[in-house]
Amino acid sequence: MDRRQQTAAAAERYRQMARDRKELKRRQKAEGSQVVDTPERVRARAARLAQAGQLQPEALVAAISPGEPLEPHVLLERIIAATNDLQAVNFLTRGARAAGRWRGSPMTGGGGWCRRGPGRWSGSGCC
């Protein structure tokens, strides 16, 4: 598939998802949260964030509106939305470094395996 076909396919997928995006925006507005999903998925994500130690007290406080009755999953959606669970940008560098070690990349100074011919391999920084 060439770039033009990929672009056309992406545009078609975007058009097909218009109804879903509209419904998502409606639910976000109705529930007062940017994170909208099934209650089961919201509970699972909140549990993962809690286990990873990424739920901040400020997120809990921001999610609670005194006097406003909320469904449990809506409260969890608000907590997730207020939580900064974005991956640090340095994961790209760490991943590239790890991939370089595995392949013996010059980027990391070697430390991997290189193919030298049919059935012939050399290791430890040969590339």
What are the sequence ranges of the domains in the chain? 91-123
Longest dimension (CA), the chain: 72
Closest CA to 100 of 68, 125, 82, 67: 125
Q: Which residues of 15-46 are buried (b: 16+ CB within 10 A; e: fewer)?
A: eeeeeeeeeeeeeeeebebebbbeeeebeebb
Residues 86-116: tens digit of each pLDDT: 666 666 777 777 776 555 444 444 555 666 7
Residues 5-25: tens digit of each pLDDT: 999 999 999 999 999 989 888
